[in-house]
A = this chain, B = another copy of it.
Amino acid sequence: MNKTKLTPKSKNISNWYLQLMELAELADYSYAKGTIVFKPYAYAIWEQIQKTLDNWFKQDGVENAYFPLFIPYSLLEKEKTHVKGFSPELAIVTIGGGEKLKEPLVVRPTSETIMYATFSKWLKSYQDLPLKINQWCSVVRWEKRTYPFLRTSEFLWQEGHTAHLSNDLAKKMVLKALNWYYKLYTDYLAIEPFIGQKSSAEKFAGADETYAIETPVENGKSIQSATSHNLGQNFSKAFNIQVLNKDNQLIYVWQTSWGLSTRTLGALFLAHGDDKGLILPPKIAPYQIILLPVTNDNKVLSLTKKLEQDLSNDFRVRTDLKLKKGLGWRITNWELKGAPLIIEIGKKESQSKQLTLKIRNRDNKININQQNCRQEIAKLLDELQTDLLTAFRKKKQKLLQKVETKEEFIKAINQKKFAKAYWCESKLCEAKIKDDTKAVSRVVELDNLNQDDNRTCFYCGKPAKREWIIAKSY
């Protein structure tokens, strides 16, 4: 590991983040433009996320499948808004098996078109609905600027795709998926994101409505953290996905798609952490407990082994036996990596009934009895999980500022805040805000969705009904 001193998070969060890619062994840049290696420690967090979401999906009757990586260009073109939105960022295969291809193949940027061409063959009757398919895979969207996890040419994600008999049913699905994402962020990642609907300029190419969760960062930037789209009948008409309804009439199905990607890892790393490194919420950390034997004394090693065995039933435990590195180095290393709980096991512990613990967000060490350590540790990890969410909520509250005028808005954006303001919702006004300030509408929060106030737009002065969250974005 590189011994470069970590830039304090409070000084420069961007440098802090980029340095941690190497220091906490999260990612490496790779050889094709914009691509990264997801190193084992970061990938293990992705696996925790996968397990959690996949479980919820399956309980709801969503089935996993796998559709091809390659989409013939002619399929992508079928939904006009969709192809327009994605064409600037496509990677295209033109040679296969040593020959120039007659039709170029797009490496999937998302799978609506390749899936829905097949859905049209699967669906015949209302009895085949709802169809709920999910896929875990990688997708490619060409990027000029790379930022590990948050902006990469290839990323990992899940994409859910469903078909329903009515718009109402589709809309329910859209919100259900959105709530899974919100729950993952809040209950597991200790992040309380903004949750709401996107403006028409910011919605998914081909959707009627896009909902999203957004993670605020203290540098005033928002991370679009997951999206859920109501596709209406746009794709079912383009791909001719019709079923016979109960009255024996052919109708176009109503569709949704929703996705959460490895951007989530970027959001997680930025959300918590301090000048010593990452802080990972216990519910999602690859290892919740790190056992550090101080010496290779037999008694020390046998107590370590015993603890590993005992605790592994209830927790994700890892023993770090790199004794040559010294205790201080190993503690620093696991603090960099944000391990929730470190247990030092030295001669003292091997001869007493005590354990010495270090919780990642507290400065002082804690002594507990070995005998009932399981319950004590569970309690401490729960407290850490709660502490992180509480701290995040405070940060979010501090970042949020209500504004009423253009001047207040510009001041807020310059102070790296998230503005909340009555906005006219017009595409023209949105473009102007972006040109002038680089800020963009993020969401109208679910609580404000049905607002119907008689107000004026903070920016252009035209009528405005609802309050929006507006900020710069990653």
Q: Which residues of A contact B (CB under 8 A)?
A: 28, 30-33, 35-40, 43-44, 46-47, 63-72, 75, 87-98, 104-105, 107, 114, 117-118, 121, 127, 133, 137-138, 140, 142-144, 153-154, 156, 322, 324
Contacts and interface: CB of A to CB of B under 8 A. Distances in A.
Contact of A97 (B35, B38, B89, B96): B89
Contacts of A69: 35, 69, 107, 138, 140, 154
A296 to B, nearest CB: 15
A142 B90 contact: no
A325 B133 CA distance: 23
A35 B105 CA distance: 12
Given A28-B121, A36-B68, A93-B107, 11 more contacts: A37-B65, A39-B65, A40-B63, A43-B66, A69-B69, A70-B140, A90-B95, A91-B96, A92-B95, A92-B96, A95-B104
Contact of A30 (B63, B118, B140, B143): B118
Nearest to A136: B136
A307 B121 CA distance: 35
A67 B30 contact: yes
Most B CB contacts (10 A, CB to CB) among A43, A67, A88 go to: A67
Nearest to A134: B40
B114 A31 contact: yes
Given A40-B63, A137-B138, A91 B93 contact: yes
A96 B92 CA distance: 6
Contact of A68 (B37, B40, B127): B37
B91 A66 contact: no
A47 B65 CA distance: 10
A117 B31 CA distance: 9
A123 to B, nearest CB: 13
A37 B63 contact: no
Contacts of A138: 66, 69, 137
12 contacts: A28-B118, A31-B68, A32-B70, A35-B70, A38-B65, A40-B65, A68-B154, A69-B154, A90-B98, A91-B93, A91-B105, A127-B324
B87 A30 contact: no
Given A68-B30, A138-B137, A144 B40 contact: no
Contacts of A322: 127
Contacts of A121: 28
Given A35-B70, A118-B37, A95 B94 contact: yes
A346 B35 CA distance: 58
In order of increasing CB-CB distance, the 3 nearest A-B pairs are A97-B142, A40-B63, A35-B68
